[in-house]
Amino acid sequence: MKPINVKIVGVGGQGVVSAGIILGEAASKRNINVVMSEIHGMAQRGGIVSVDIRFGEAYGPISPDNDIDILVGFEILETIRALKYTNENTYIIMNNEKIVPFTSNILKIGYPNVEDYIKNRKNFFAIDAVEIAKKAGTYKAVNIVMIGAVSALNILPIKNEDVEEAIKNVLPKKFWDVNINAFRLGVETINKLKAAYL
């Protein structure tokens, strides 16, 4: 069976890698094969962070070109930049947050409008993950809101409960409540959007 490929993109410090680890951990505990690529080192310093995570019959941690099933964008510009990896069926979940790179000022290249790029995309969901995370208790839980949104799509071979369990496996106990909260709000947000589409 073809593996399910997820790409998570964002900016250093947004918790992209942790988000991937939690999804992978959930699959691992369900005895599902899962491989993930991480980026460390110089690239992290305020630069783009991108993680591929593949579920099912995958060997390498890099997804084939244009074969992403779910693109998870933690930031608008990085979501647009990663559209090149997607196809017309790719589900896209984007956090409505702008982090303007310094090059925008110095090189005078304007920050793009996402509407110009997602026309004709049938599976596009934009959510205000920062606001949702704040509602859950901390703006830092943006990444957990986003994986809640991914889980709610019901495309991955894992259930919401598996992800909640993985959150507990990966994060220290004192952060459990606020993050489980953030996760559930993420799930809820997508469920509402899906209901509105149908």
Partner 1 sequence: MGKYDVILGNEGEKHFLLGNEAIVRGLIESGVGIATTYPGTPSSEIGDVLSNIAKDIGIYFEYSTNEKVALEVAAASAASGIRSFVFMKHVGLNVASDAFMSISFTGTKAGLVIMTGDDPSMFSSQNEQDNRNYAEFAYVPLIEPSNPQEAKDFLVYAFNLSEKYEKPVLFRTTTRVSHQRANVVYGKKREITKIGKFEKNPDRFVLLPSNAYRAKNEVIKKLEDLKKESEISPLNVEINNNSEYGIITSGATYNYIMDAFNMLNIKLDILKLGFSYPPPYQKIENFIKRHNEILVAEEVDPFIEKHVRIVAQIKNINVPIHGKFDGYVEFSYEQNPDRIVKSISKLLNIEYKESKNNNINNLPPRPPVLCPGCPHRATFYAVKLVTKQLRLGDVIYPSDIGCYTLGIQPPYNEADYLLCMGSSVGTGGGFSISTKQKIISFIGDSTFFHAGIPGLINAVHNNHKFLLIILDNRTTAMTGHQPNPGVPFNGMREPAKEIDIEKLVKAIGVEYVKTVDPYDLKNTIIAIREALQRDGLSVIISKRECALLRDAEMIKLGKWVRYQVNQDKCTKCMNCILNYSCPAFYLDPEGRVMIDPVLCDGCGVCALPQVCGFKAIERVEE
Helix (H) or strand (E) holding 162: helix 160-170
Binding partner 1 (rule: CB under 8 A), the pick from 16, 55, 68, 78 is 78
Determine which residue in the list 7, 15, 20, 167 makes contact with partner 1, applying CB under 8 A. 20
Instruction: Report the half-sphere exposure of 172 (CA within 13 A, side-chain side).
Output: 1
Task: Tell me how far apart the alpha carbons of residues 93 and 149 are, in angstroms, rounded to a whole number.
Answer: 7
Indicate which single residue of 15, 16, 19, 24 sits in contact with partner 1 (rule: CB under 8 A).
24
- Which of the residues 132 through 151 are near partner 1 (CB under 8 A)? 139
Q: How far is CA 147 from the centre of its chain?
A: 6
Instruction: Spell out the residues 6+ positions from residue 55 whose beta carbon is closer than 8 angstroms to its own.
Output: 3, 4, 5, 6, 27, 32, 33, 34, 156, 157, 158
Smallest separation (angstroms) from partner 1 to the CB of 198: 29
Verify binding: residue 15, partner 1, rule CB under 8 A: no
For residue 34, the cross-strand partners are 55
- When binding is defined by CB under 8 A, the residue of 18, 61, 128, 138 that contacts partner 1 is 61
Residue 120 lies near partner 1 (rule: CB under 8 A) = no
- Distance, in Å, from the CA atom of 8 to the CA atom of 82, rounded to the nearest integer, reads 9
CB of 93 to partner 1, least distance (A): 19
Piece in contact with partner 1 (CB under 8 A), picked from 23-31, 141-149, 175-183, 184-192: 23-31
The β-bridge relationship of strands 70-73 and 4-11 is: parallel
Under the binding rule (CB under 8 A), the answer on residue 174 touching partner 1 is no
- Cα–Cα distance measured from residue 87 to residue 93, given in angstroms and rounded to the nearest whole number: 14
Interface with partner 1 includes 197 (CB under 8 A)?
no
167 is a contact residue toward partner 1 (CB under 8 A): no
- What single-letter amino acid sits at 196? A
* x/- letters, 81..110, toward partner 1 (CB under 8 A): x-xx-x-------------xxxxxxxx-xx
Q: Which residues bind partner 1 (CB under 8 A)?
A: 2-3, 11-12, 20-21, 24-25, 27-28, 33-48, 57-66, 77-78, 80-81, 83-84, 86, 100-107, 109-112, 117, 139, 172
